[in-house]
Structure 1
């Protein structure tokens, strides 16, 4: 998804890979060569760097066709098979003051801290450090990047708290901090990011809302443009009884992930469905690893108009699957009910209306399958 976003980002910009009239500037060429020398390039990913005088022709480097300034640096490593850059990020990067796109994802920086000098690249609009083995704390200097639209720090080894300085990123549209080791209170200043469309801060194990003010989660209701929200494993969300009503105020929400915060039925059922503005927009709902029982199905049926992906694994869903499940949830493409306590019989009637279903997981339940001989599964 982020690579697609990168392509769309480039379409709206003035990129080039060299032309007959303009070549890159000497100072910027030297900066790139200094960066190359600081990297450990086991797979010769940067073999083109230095092969010609015009750095605009080097792999991963794109320039403005009018000025010759390097404006884009895409040095993401390969994922399958893994082919990362290693070593250090040279301070010579600061000489690329017109840089507005930097992608260092899928590399291996051996738990080193994200360089504080990134904060001096004030024209950056896109910063992707996904899965690159960065460690230490998130530098508060990143809060200086006021033009930043996308910040992806997910799947690293980051520790400490989320700095409230990130609230200064007034242009930010996508913030990915998930799958790290972040701890402490989620800063309510994030509610100032009124342009935010994606907020992913789940799977950190140590994040929580302010113990002294459990209504502090109300800042979420300011993020009216949110389409994707992941608060999975935020430790004390189950104590915030107004969580769902607040999330329900988000009219454009398409993806909601609330896995494993010890949620019980009352955390959901205390909110009338007509108070949930996202009921018509929601496409993906993940409630894995909670303590939910089958009594939540009536609420799910009220969210079913467009719901395509439903994840309910590892809960306490017991009893038979309702006969009208397929009729009420007929938009589903993915359904995961694994690791629950379901029993009873599954037959044609449960699936006849699930014509879009492509992925079904009912493993680790106590269900009996009983289908007619001529029945053809819709998936």
Structure 2
């Protein structure tokens, strides 16, 4: 985000930002934004404003470890439309329920921020969200976020404007018919679905097809334990399909290989998955094909030459780059 100038910010907004800066616990030696906030600042790094109001706040990678409580001035920045606290370390505290006060939020990024425990029900009040990112990088933090006391449906059922949902490493723990129906009935405009290692069970339910705008599906590391439904080929805008290490078995449908828009297909670590590579369409868009640790035939058809954008193939346990 572009920095806000002193002239851009109203006096009351500057005071709220200063109050926030002095309440937060962060490492000044690694900070590039907060450390420069003061009363005489000519610009406010990480702050975006419109008409004197703070509408965007990017405090990602600021080594913040605490200082947000129920009375935090953060929750009085009520015109915020975008909030990014990613890649901090909040020492496994719970996500603050006060975020519900920021009712105008369209983009919320708390990924890898060190939050842990139960996701608060108050997040479901953020009905204008278009992007919600609560994801974790594997093993980066001690604690994990969970939806054990709050179902996926309860979290997202009023988020009808949501376009991107990232819940990687969040413990959702739901069977196929539950999580597929919750998504398809709650967030019909969804374009990005990233729920790797969420303790999801299969099979993938046909109700997911109601999400006609899906372009990215990442479900790696779940317990789908099923065949691959051929209806996945009906997603006409699909660019990424990542189903690594999910217990797939049986014949992989040829028609999925042939999706014209598909850029990335990852089927790795599904030892019981079988099949052969089909004839590829003219001007196919496939760029990355990962078949390592599957039982899919490595015999390439002559039509592999149709994939002019193909730059990465992984077979067995080694990779081959095409230049």
TM-score range, shorter chain: 0.7 to 0.9
SS of alignment partner, residue 279 of structure 1: coil
Aligned equivalents of 2:244, 2:14: Cα separation in 1: 47
- Once residues 242 and 296 of structure 2 are traced to their aligned partners in structure 1, the CA distance between those partners, rounded to angstroms, is 18
Are 1:199 and 2:184 matched, yes or no? no
1:109 aligns with 2:95: no
2:262 corresponds to which of 276, 279, 282: 282
Q: Does the C-alpha gap of structure 1 residues 221 and 326 become closer, same or farther in structure 2, counting only changes over 3 Å?
A: closer
CA deviation vs aligned residue, 1:180-230 (integer Å, no higher than 9, x gap): 4442345322113111110101123x2224xxxx5x722210111111011
1:85 to 56, 64, 82: 64
- Once the two structures are superposed, residues 308-334 of structure 1 have per-residue CA deviations (whole angstroms, 9 ceiling, x without a partner) of 11111222356x644737436554111
Do residues 163 (structure 1) and 160 (structure 2) align?
no
Contact 1:220 1:247 in 2 (8 A): no
Tell me the residue number matched to 1:58. Answer: 44
More RCO (CA 8 Å, sep 6+): 2
How far apart are the structure 2 equivalents of 1:314 and 1:331?
A: 24
Question: 2:319 maps to what in 1?
Answer: 361
Normalising to structure 2: TM-score of the pair? Answer: 0.83
- Structure 1 counterpart of 2:271: 291
Residues 278 and 230 from structure 1, CA distance in 2 versus in 1: closer, same or farther, beyond 3 angstroms? farther
**CA distance in 2: counterparts of 1:237 and 1:328, whole angstroms:** 32
Q: Distance in 2 between matches of 1:75 and 1:233?
A: 30
Report the equivalent of 1:374.
Answer: none
Q: Give the match's secondary structure for 1:207.
A: coil
Residues 189, 182 of structure 1: alpha-carbon distance in 2 compared, 3 angstrom cutoff: closer
Structure 2 counterpart of 1:42: 27
Q: Distance in 1 between matches of 2:119 and 2:294?
A: 34
Query: In 2, are the aligned partners of 1:265 and 1:291 still within 8 Å (CA)?
Result: no
Residues 308-317 or 116-125, more deviating: 308-317
What SS does the aligned partner of 1:189 have? helix
CA distance in 2, matches of 1:306, 1:221: 22
Q: Which residue of 1 aligns with 2:17?
A: 32
Find the aligned partners of 2:63 and 2:82 in 1 and give their Cα distance.
19
Determine helix, strand or coil for the equivalent of 1:47.
helix
- Structure 2: gaps of 5 or more residues: 138-143
How many residues are treated as equivalent by the alignment? 305
- Alpha-carbon separation, structure 2, partners of 1:332 and 1:63: 42
1:309 aligns to 2:288 (yes or no): yes
- Of 262, 268, 272 in structure 1, the residue corresponding to residue 247 of structure 2 is 262
Q: Which residue of 2 aligns with 1:76?
A: 60
Q: TM-score, normalised by structure 1?
A: 0.72
From 158, 172, 189, the counterpart of 2:182: 189
Sort the Cα spacing of 1:123 and 1:313 in 2 relative to 1 into closer, same or farther, 3 A: same
Counting helix residues as a fraction of each chain, which structure ranks higher?
1
The structure having more radius of gyration, on CA atoms, is 1
For residues 282 and 307 of structure 1, do their structure 2 counterparts lie closer, same or farther at Cα, with a shift above 3 Å needed? same
CA displacement 1:129-182 (0-9 Å, x = unmatched): 121111112222212111111111111621234531313111111111113444
Distance in 2, matches of 1:62 and 1:329, equals: 42
Q: CA deviation at 1:16?
A: 4.7
CA distance in 2, matches of 1:198, 1:333: 23
| Equivalent residues of 1:283, 1:309 under 8 A apart | yes
- Which residue pairs with 1:251 in the alignment? 236
Provide the C-alpha distance between the structure 2 equivalents of 1:277 and 1:302, rounded to a whole number of angstroms. 9
8 Å contact kept, 1:308–1:333: yes
Shift of 1:304: 8.1
Unpaired runs of 5+ in structure 1?
A: 1-6, 78-82, 340-359, 363-376
State which of 182, 195, 201 in structure 2 corresponds to 1:208.
Answer: 201
Q: Tell me the SS of whatever aligns to 1:291.
A: strand
